[in-house]
Amino acid sequence: MARANEEAAAALQEYAELFALTGGDAFRVRSYQKAAKAIAGFPEDISVADVRGVPGVGEAIAKKMEEFLLRGSFRQLDDLRGRVPEGVRRLTRVPTLGPKTAIMLFEEFGIDSPAALGEAIAAGRLDGVRGLGPKTLANLAKGIEQLEQSGRRVHIGVAMSLAEQVAGSLTAERIAYAGSLRRMKDTIGDIDILAVAPVSVMEEFRAQPYVAEVIAAGDKKTSVRTTSGVQVDLRVVPAGSWGAAMQYFTGSKEHNVAIREMAVKKGWKLSEYGLFEGERVIAAESEEEIYAALGMQFVPPPMREDGGEVRAALRGELPELVRLEDLRGDLHTHTDLTDGIASLDDMVAAGHARGYSYYAVTDHAPDLAMQRMTLDKALQQRERVAKLQERYPGMRLLHGTELNIAPDGSVDWPAEILRGFDVCVASVHSHFAMSREEMTRRFIVACENPYVDIIGHPTTRKIGKREPVDADWDAVFRAAARTGTAMEIDSFPDRSDLPSDLVRLAKHHGVKFSIDSDSHAIPHLANQRFGIGIAQRAWLTADDVINTWPLERLRSFLRP
Ligand code: DGT
Ligand code: CA
Ligand code: CA
Ligand code: ZN
């Protein structure tokens, strides 16, 4: 994704928020938000291409974006930044806290940060205030806690693009990221970069425009905080110790402790410099040599969590993990018929360019009222898909939908309509706060619907923004296995849903999975790499993942 697009979109998004905070017209707020999304997802770099070519960008927005590209801001944004106190803006980051309440809290109580709000609630200063009942206050307190937690870690999408930017910005003989990012964790505390390079790389690093603050500077290690708030550690390592350093700094700590024990048992020593017997180097240059010397299979980084992988690797019993190249298609994507920003033709062309054997179009169904879907529109799209199919003899187009699972477990359309789709994803998009028992029932009823093939983003969490729903996942997964309903691994990095621990649990129950992008724009198709990371962390093989299967096998799973 072009950096200019991301930055311009972020500025427009901020403008939309400030505009809403100052009582701006809701329709215009939506149109700014939509344009911001469209710019972020636009496949061409808007610092080169005309921003007027982005869907949803009219003349007024285009002018703002052009000014932004010239000087990093625009007049109207500067105005609003001046008018809205920073304290009010900080407050609105608390989930469930709306702009009106934020302004009231700031003006009447002088509360100017989530932390100050937390203290005021704890001290009972807001008890009895109109509009702030005990339940509202409890929700706000929970929101503050969530916000604090999310402030410490970022999701893998943010970390990955930053790590790639850092690696690309430095002059080194060898450079790579290690740590939790290499293990493909869904959230990342800090980014660990290793390099084989002259010491001057440290100075080069500190001078980068993405560096906001240097936390520690040395010849071997430099730590900085970037403009996006994420910490990056850069370590320079000797070329001959590259493998040992990668092994050590990839972690996890628990995996390393287990590995080091293996070395000690043999009377050897393992460190970030190598595997040694006394002074003699047994292995150091590559990770492969180190694992081999310890008498184990090479352990892929996503498995290095001390979750049984050491024992399995010693016995030669590691599974053959599913790889990105194994995916033959995508079973959950959107177009501009609902909330996607690219046309059907463009999305399908982009899927084809990725070499897929099949590609499903699954726009939203009518119960998500905001999307204004109708049966007529769905049927018209089906005709367009059939027509488009003629252009792609090597790729099977599947016409599907993303249904909404109602609180009682039912979905938008009756059986005779559902029958006409090639694939039905069904997801929870509302009523997130049901009791565990009701929510479990809701998912089980959805699984039992013979037309529901895949449960989309099952926990519905949004990292740092929305907690997962509460359900008895053992019961849900048993129902999924029994009814032949796949669980989705939604690859959108802020969702990463199912998370890997639940994937592993589901696999234990015999569930199959679909690794989907849930794309709303062309660049999102590439997010499947994150879904593969989740699958690998859960020890999945290609056989566990329905969209690695040949079309015939997939179709008999979808419509047995
Ligand atoms: P994060 O940053 O919280 O997402 O998680 P990691 O795993 O990237 O942790 P981090 O950045 O503290 O350290 C990177 C790796 O370095 C870690 O996974 C293993 C290794 N490491 C760091 N400190 C120790 C230690 O005290 N003992 C051992 N065995 N390994 C360590
Ligand atoms: Ca780290
Ligand atoms: Ca670190
Ligand atoms: Zn959805």
- For residue 96, CA distances in Å to 113, 136, 137, 494 come to 15, 9, 10, 18
233 Cα nearest atom in ligand 1:
11
Per-residue tokens: 506:
């589901």
Helix (H, G, I), strand (E, B) or coil at 420: coil
pLDDT confidence of residue 538? 98
pLDDT confidence of residue 457? 98
153 Cα nearest atom in ligand 1:
4
In sequence order, the β-bridge partners of residue 489 are: 515
In the reported structure, the alpha carbon of residue 241 is separated from the centroid of ligand 3 by a whole-number distance in angstroms of 18
Q: Which of 238, 247, 206 has the alpha carbon at shortest distance from 224?
A: 206
In the reported structure, the alpha carbon of residue 192 is separated from the centroid of ligand 3 by a whole-number distance in angstroms of 5
Q: How far apart are CA 321 and CA 309, in angstroms?
A: 12
- For residue 481, CA distances in Å to 83, 453, 511 come to 55, 11, 5
**Are the CB atoms for 538 and 503 separated by under 8 Å?**
yes
pLDDT confidence of residue 301? 98
Residue 291, class by beta-carbon neighbours within 10 Å (0-12 exposed, 13-18 middle, 19+ buried)? buried
Q: Which of 175, 115, 103 has the alpha carbon at shortest distance from 147?
A: 115
In the reported structure, the alpha carbon of residue 103 is separated from the centroid of ligand 4 by a whole-number distance in angstroms of 32
In the reported structure, the alpha carbon of residue 523 is separated from the centroid of ligand 4 by a whole-number distance in angstroms of 18
In the reported structure, the alpha carbon of residue 191 is separated from the centroid of ligand 3 by a whole-number distance in angstroms of 6
Q: What residue spans define the domains of the chain?
A: 1-80, 85-152, 154-236, 251-314, 324-558
Q: How far apart are CA 6 and CA 311, in angstroms?
A: 44
248 Cα nearest atom in ligand 1:
20
DSSP string, 318-364: ---B--GGG--EES-B--TTTT-SS-HHHHHHHHHHTT-SEEEEEEE
Closest ligand by atom to 249 CA: 1
Q: How far apart are CA 328 and CA 549, in angstroms?
A: 7
Instruction: Give the residue, by CA position, lying nearest to ligand 1 atom 14.
Output: 179
Q: How far apart are CA 97 and CA 135, in angstroms?
A: 13
pTM score of the predicted model:
0.81
pLDDT confidence of residue 150? 61
Helix (H, G, I), strand (E, B) or coil at 5: helix
Instruction: Give the residue, by CA position, lying nearest to ligand 1 atom 31.
Output: 253
- For residue 276, CA distances in Å to 267, 285, 313 come to 9, 12, 21
Closest ligand by atom to 235 CA: 3
Beta strands in 343-485 (DSSP E): 358-364, 396-404, 423-427, 454-455
Q: Which residues, given as ranges, of the chain have pLDDT below 50?
A: none
- For residue 524, CA distances in Å to 38, 42, 107 come to 12, 10, 41
Q: State the sign of the Cα–Cα–Cα–Cα dihedral 222, 227, 231, 237.
A: negative
pLDDT confidence of residue 1? 55
**Are the CB atoms for 480 and 515 separated by under 8 Å?**
no
CATH code that applies to domain 85-152: 1.10.150.20
CATH code that applies to domain 1-80: 1.10.150.110
Identical fold between 154-236 and 251-314: no
DSSP string, 35-62: HHHHHHT-SS-TTTS-GGGSTT--HHHH
179 Cα nearest atom in ligand 1:
8
Chain CA centroid to CA 474, Å: 24
Fold of 154-236: Beta Polymerase; domain 2 (3.30.460)
Domain spanning 324-558: CATH superfamily:
Metal-dependent hydrolases (3.20.20.140)
Chain CA centroid to CA 437, Å: 28
> What is the CATH architecture assignment of 251-314?
2-Layer Sandwich (3.30)
Contacts of 141 (CB under 8 A, 6+ apart): 118, 121, 122
